[in-house]
Structure 1
Amino acid sequence: MLKSAKPRLYLGFSLLLSVIACNLFFYLWKPAPLQIIQNATFDQFQRLKPRIYQNEPVRIIDIDDASLNRLGQWPWPRTRIAELIAKLQSAKPAAMGLDIIFAEKDRTSPESMLEIWHLSAEKRQLLSGLADHDQVLADVLNHSNIALGFALHWQESKQSLPSIKANFVQIGVSPMPYLPNFQAAVCSLPLLEASAAGNGALEFISDTDGVIRKLPMVLRLQDSIVPSLVAESLRLAEKTNNIRLQSNDTGLTEVGIGNMRIPTSANGQMWINFSKPSSERYISAWRVLAGQIDPSQLTGKILLIGTSAQGLMDLRFSPLGGIIPGIEVHAQALEQILSGNYLSRPDWAETLEILIMITAGLLIGCITLISGAILSFMAFMLSLMLFWTAAWYAYVDYHWLLDPMIPSVMLMLIFMSASIFRHLYSERSQRWIKQAFSRYISPNLVEYLISHPEDLELGGHRQTCSFVFTDLSDFTGLMESLEPEKAVSLLNTYLENMIAIAFSHQGTLDRIVGDAVAIMFSAPLKQTDHQLRAIQCALDMQAFASQYCAKIIREGGQFGQTRIGVHSGEVIVGNFGGKTIFDYRALGDPVNTASRLEGANKYIGTLICVSETTLSACPEIPARPIGRVLLKGKTISLAIFEPLLVKSLNTRVLAEYWAAFILMRDSKPEALAAFQQIVYKHPEDSLAAFHLQRLLDGCSGDLIELSHK
């Protein structure tokens, strides 16, 4: 035993190391599906415990649908934008950021109108004397503490580069190689850029699933570093010209603006700790223009001018689910910077997760290879609980993003691989035992007992089942007239096929007694259609038995007819016997009744007798009534029927029989003539002949008393 176990453990340990190596390869490669899984985990953490909104000095001046409805559709004239900025600046905010790009001249300016309208020289001279809208906006910008925005593109173009107002102070190695490298920009007019106090990128870098989880603080544009709108707005609010960049050999680690130290990823992005949407951070632009906002609500705050109007399409997917305006992403980033409520994924997080996968993988894999299923599964589940508890604790208490999902998935792969390996080695012996026992008892019972070993105890329970009993006519005479080897061969072939038919209908072999077979349905596993299964099984058995008997007779041999009884009812199912040996079977009157119905065929002239109890649950099965039979020793009669095969069903003949049976049941004298007519047309109909003989003997009605079992 030890000699065979060692190679198995060596092979299993080699498999374990291979699976761990594959897991590490995929973890370091980080294909898109793994990134999506990891990000979804972080999203779920934020949904369970989002950042609580605090009244930080950040407000969104929202060009919303209400503003567009009141003041006209977009784009607004630059004079209206200038009026809005002027009103905001008069309230003395800390800084403003404009999430709008003015890349082209205002088409509503007088100069632009002169190119379209056909006016007289006098009117053209009058119109040319009006102020240019872009110049009006530039004049307002020149007296405002505001940062404009520009968009970045990956592909090169001939567009001009933005005017950067911030100075970058680099501490450590250059962060340039680690920053996202854009090649072109779409900027506002040079006149406007020159007048603004700052200029920042509006770029978002979404993850593979399109969700915005991080915001760049600085980016790379060709060979220059440019700030984001958030960084530039914060710089103006802090009244500083410089942005400090702290870097090491792995990339950027921190961005410093005034007194603010903002932790970032290596590529300069800051994780956004989202809070739920709040109406407090929004101020509608039309209310500012209408003078309905108290200036104290704006004083000392960072004001971000943007839009939430759906028609302007500045909408982003949020980790909290749903869509939020892009301007709110900037606002939430500023809120968490001002509150110091940062969310971060530490540099050592990946190293820790790799160590966890290696150590936990080896531990769980070894336990699974050498221990039982319960212990290995408990160790696996305990590891998962530790992963998730530690990750949740790190998120709640320290705002660290540690990923428990990918280590859990990879640990599950290790556990499954080791379990499958162990199972394959033990499966051969189990398969041998299963095959051996299947030759003694019903395969579905073997399957059930393997799945429910707790039922291998003495005792039973009540359950409604259906029973099929078969028997061969003249079996004793057959055995006496044939050589023993020939008789056993014929009988074994017969029984093998009969049992195979029962198993094909998921019946359970109750017992074999000589040539008789007892099959039960809805035990051990319950079957809601057990009545239908029993009848169809009986029909298929009878079809085979008839063909088998005819084949033997054609070959010059002899074989008896098969009679079948089918009944349903509540019985006690379970294991009966003693501590030494026991048998799984059903006990109860329905079992005896099914056996007695099989025997009734001999007197009635039928081959299959089905009780009304069984047939009533199978309206789709065609059948003809036999009558109410009073079995020996019983005081209550039982209605029985003869089921018919659909393929051989003659509806006209069946209708004639039903008409004659109703006359007999109602004790009509016309019943005798009706059955005489049926027997005359169909002399092979033994059931009709049976009823005719009863009528000739002076019986009436459909009650049949059987004096024999």
Structure 2
Amino acid sequence: MGSTANILRKLVPVLISFAVLAACIVILRADIPLNARLRNVVFDTYQQIDPRTPFEGSPVLIVDIDDVSLQKIGQWPWPRDYLAAITGYLQDIGAAAIVYDVFFAEPDGSSPSTVFGRLPEDARSLLDGITLPNNDLTFASTIARGRVVLGMSINDGSLDDGRPPPDLHYGITTSEPSAMRYLPAAPGLTRNIGPLEESAAGLGMITISPDVDGVIRKVPIMYRVGDQGYASLALEALRVAQGENTYSFKTVGGSGEQGFGENTGIVKMKVGQFIIPTDHKGAMRIHFAHAGAEEVVPIWKIVTGDVDPAVLQGRIVLIGTSAIGLRDLRFNTLGEEVPGVFMHAQMIDQILTESYLVRPDWAEGAEFILTIVVSFLLIVVVMRFGAVWSAILGGVLVLAGAGGALWAFLEMRLLFDPLLPSVAALAVFMVCSSARYWQTEREQKFIRGAFKTFVSPNLVDSLALHPEALKLGGTRKECTFIFTDLAGFTSFVEKSDPEVAVPLLNDYIDNMVRIGLKHGGYLDKIVGDATVFHFNAFLPPLDQPDHRQRAYDCAMEMYTWSDAYSKQKQAEGIPLNETRIGINSGMVTMGNFGGAVMDYTAHGDAINTAARLESAGKFLGVHVSLAGATLEGVSNFVGRPCGTLVLKGQTSGTPVFEPMTPDRLNGPAVQKYLEAYELMKAEDPKAEEAMEEVLLLDPDDGLAKMHLRRLRDGQNGIRIVMTSK
């Protein structure tokens, strides 16, 4: 029975981890905005790494109604007989298709017939019997000559003018009768005026809707309004240029198409010789080239004849605008803001080069399997080898997944998302390692429990004389604090047999406590291998006016003993690291903060600073970090300044010093350091070179290494701002 209970206890981290994995899978496979945003970040990054290479000699040409054209020709809209002349010229010159990325939703207000209708009745009577030109009919007549595509857009249905649906010049074939239902639906259309619409060889949707972050990533190549499908402007341009009259698209399960993941929806669409892969809603993901790759001709050059006709022959000509007052700017995945007509041009160019971005229907299934495999491996390694090896394995697997996904994009233009599986694996790792750590702590409870039983005899004496100290609250006192920590010992305990760790830690703690009590310190607590001592912790007559000196002498003896002890154990083959010590003085509130559960301790910034100085020793590269507030009461200090440390959450700096032996202080390396420190303090550019000379004399000088890194990072002076606790 006991064996079964022990096995169940060991399985607790595994069971918790699998529960977290299951929750992550449910969340990651859910259709929620956060998942889509994270996936978009990954796919956008791919494109930024390797944008599409422009099609050299592309048949796509943009005729731009730019600001210069408006200055030369006049403000928009231009008379439609003018546009008729431009369109007729492009037809005569042999353009493969003429595509307008502009609306003609209202009659031409400058048409003579329209102007005539606005004249007073007596003025109109003077022109009775005279037939005036109608610019719209002139434009429609030119459009009817062929190869012209006009734009439409979707609306919410409120702009419906009551006309019957437009007469399209194409049919749609599908691999299943109800396939149209997959297309994005819209209530209504914004259309061109009747004569123009009826004359056009093609009608294409110019609607390009961004994602919630304002970036264009996909464009539906067909919309559904009612029972009719309306092709995008780019698709209609290709159809008209090829002289085709049919679109066809296939769905998962139709015509032998198979899928893994989404079991319904569109997978590809065909127009003429081009087969376009889509998502299940019939949207094509745009693979952007950098803006400026398109071939552009200002429309004024067409009007003035400044363009070689050979440039226009056989081209798909898109007429749109980049003028500041007219353009509809959109952001692409490369972070560039471009006019809508350039988006349509990139879509056509992408189809012509068949440079498609495809997220396979089985991609989510592959990512699902990857998540399970990586998470399972991490759980096994955490339970068998611990968190460190698991973290290494997890890092390798995550990097391999990210590298593989990037390779699939670069080589095959396939889109896989390694981020969300990595997030799931990280969550599983953190939960599993935390649960395992908690379990390990419980198993070694007898070690930690023994440490908590230490009680300072000083406290007994103080409370016997001053029982009022047991009251909640306390008194304000100036104290000095020592925090010690044995670097890397938690990891050592987890990897070692208790028979080795317990005697070693007992011996270490016994001696650290012995030294602390010898100098009159109050042992506040022992946490694992760390000790906390207070000086001047008690009320008179047990107060200690010389608490700074006592604490300094205590810390020096602690460091001397612990350094010798570590070297002794290392010689015995036991990897015992160095001890770090932090010392600070200041005003705190001392007293019993535990009520019935007696906890005589201090609260205040001074004790917190002492703790953080001990932690900062690792960053500074020193073993003992002595605050300037303590140094004020020390008569036998030998050492050097480290700098002014601004701890996280604080605005004022704490001067910090490193104690050392006189021999080391007088050695050439430390003397050179003192020179370099003065240069650094003066923000002299020569400080970096001087600090380099220190390391030539003593390559193991951790403090000099830290300062050299700062100087090379452009951090001048002696003020060191800590960004973490």
1: CA distance, partners of 2:61 / 2:209 = 23
1:512-540 per-position Cα deviation (integer Å, ceiling 9, x unaligned):
57774379xxxxxxxxxxxxxx9xx98xx
Q: Distance in 2 between matches of 1:190 and 1:299?
A: 29
Between 571-580 and 313-322, report the one with greater CA deviation: 571-580
Q: How many angstroms apart in 2 are the aligned matches of 1:359 and 1:586?
A: 41
Instruction: Report the Cα distance in structure 1 between the residues aligned to 2:128 and 2:452, rounded to whole angstroms.
Output: 106
Choose which of 146, 152, 155 in structure 1 pairs with 2:154.
Answer: 152
Paired amino acid for 2:92: S
1:564 to partner: Cα distance:
4.7
Instruction: Please name the residue that 2:284 is paired with.
Output: 270
* Alpha-carbon contact 1:168-1:243 (below 8 Å) kept: yes
Where in structure 2 are the equivalents of 1:251-330 lying within 5 Å? 251-330=265-344
Partner of 1:374: 388
What secondary structure, in the 3-state scheme, does the structure 2 residue paired with 1:16 have?
helix
Instruction: Give distance in 1, aligned partners of 2:26 and 2:577.
Output: 55
The match for 1:416 is 430
What displacement does 1:274 show? 0.9
Q: Quote how far apart the aligned CAs of 1:12 are.
A: 2.7
- 1:8-35 Cα distance to aligned partner (Å, 9 max, x none): 3433332233222222222222210110
Is contact 2:330–2:338 with CA below 8 Å preserved after alignment? yes
- Retained in 1: the 8 A contact 2:170–2:247? yes
Aligned to 2:402: 388
**SS, match of residue 12 in structure 1:** helix
Cα distance, 1:362 vs. partner?
A: 2.1
Contact 1:42 1:403 in 2 (8 A): yes
Matched, 1:575 2:563: yes
The answer for the alignment partner of 2:357 in structure 1 is 343
**Secondary structure of 2:19's aligned partner:** helix
Instruction: Answer whether contact 1:576 1:583 (CA < 8 A) is retained.
Output: no
Distance in 2 between residues matched to 1:136 and 1:372, nearest whole Å:
81
Pick from 376, 395, 400 the counterpart of residue 362 of structure 1.
376
- CA deviation after TM superposition for structure 1 residue 324, in Å: 1.3
Q: Measure, in 1, the Cα distance between the counterparts of 2:194 and 2:634.
A: 97
Do residues 24 (structure 1) and 34 (structure 2) align? no
1:214 to 198, 213, 218: 218
**Cα deviation digits, residues 50-83 of structure 1 (max 9, x gap):** 1111221111111122222322222222223223
What is the TM-score when the length of structure 1 is the normalising length?
0.66
Q: Is the 8 A contact 1:163 1:199 kept in 2?
A: no
Q: Secondary structure at the match of 1:345?
A: coil
1:130 aligns with 2:118: no
Looking at structure 1, the residues matched to 441 and 327 of structure 2 have their Cα atoms a distance apart, in angstroms, of: 60
1:548 is matched with 540
Taking the aligned partners of 1:514 and 1:25, their CA distance within structure 2 comes to 57
Q: Please name the residue that 1:184 is paired with.
A: 188
* Secondary structure of the structure 2 residue equivalent to 1:83: helix
TM-score under structure 2 normalisation? 0.65
- SS of 2:20's equivalent in the other structure is helix
1:24 partner letter: I
**1:43–1:320: 8 Å Cα contact kept in structure 2?**
yes
| Residues 489-529 of structure 1: per-residue CA shift (max 9 Å, x gap) | 559999xx99x97576758989657774379xxxxxxxxxx
Q: Distance in 1 between matches of 2:441 and 2:35?
A: 33
2:169 to 155, 160, 165: 165
Q: Rg: which structure is higher? A: 1
* 8 Å Cα contact 1:247/1:254 also seen in 2: yes
Q: Which moved more, 1:154-163 or 1:59-68?
A: 154-163
Whether the 8 Å contact between 1:174 and 1:247 is mirrored in structure 2 is no
Deviations for 1:604-652, whole angstroms, at most 9, x for unmatched residues? xxxx95559899999xx9xxxxxxxxxxxxxxxxxxxxxxxxxxxxxxx
CA distance in 1, matches of 2:139, 2:83: 7
Question: 1:399 deviation in Å?
Answer: 0.8
Structure 2 counterpart SS, 1:303: strand
Amino acid at match of 1:63: I
1:439/1:83 CA distance change after superposition, 3 Å: farther
What RMSD over aligned residues (CA atoms) do the two structures have, in Å?
4.1
Aligned position for 1:458: none
Match of 1:517 in 2: 520
Indicate the residue corresponding to 2:87 in structure 1.
85
Match of 1:626 in 2: none
- Contact 1:511/1:518, CA 8 A, preserved across alignment: no
- Structure 2: segments with no counterpart, 5+ residues: 254-263, 486-511, 523-532, 582-631, 645-651, 653-725
Residue 169 of structure 1: how far off its partner (Å): 2.2
CA distance in 2, matches of 1:129, 1:586: 101
SS in 2 for 1:374: helix
8 Å contact from structure 1 (residues 154, 181) kept in 2 = no
**Aligned equivalent of 2:96, options 77, 94, 97:** 94
Moved more, 374-383 or 149-158: 149-158
User: Are the counterparts in 1 of residues 216 and 330 from structure 2 also a CA contact under 8 Å?
Assistant: yes
| Per-residue Cα deviation, 1:143-162 (whole angstroms, up to 9, x for no partner) | 24111110112446533333
Q: Tell me: CA distance 1:31–1:518, structure 2 relative to 1, closer, same or farther (3 Å).
A: same
* Residues 656-671 of structure 1 aligned to structure 2 (within 5 Å): none
Q: Deviations over 1:542-585 (max 9, x none)?
A: xx66x522xxxxxxxxx687445649899886612473699988
Alignment partner, residue 627 of structure 1: none
Residue matched to 2:9 = 8
Find the aligned partners of 1:563 and 1:343 in 2 and give their Cα distance: 74
- Whole-Å Cα distance in 1 between the matches of residues 516 and 168 of structure 2? 99
CA shift digits 1:390-423 (9 cap, x unpaired): 1111111111111111111111111122122212
Counterpart of 2:199? Answer: 195
8 A contact 1:151–1:185 mirrored in 2: yes
Q: Distance in 2 between matches of 1:94 and 1:561?
A: 97
TM-aligned CA distance change 1:422 to 1:274, over 3 Å = same
Deviation at 1:130, TM superposition (A): 3.2
Q: How many Å apart are 1:117 and its aligned residue?
A: 4.7
User: What corresponds to 1:34 in structure 2?
Assistant: 35
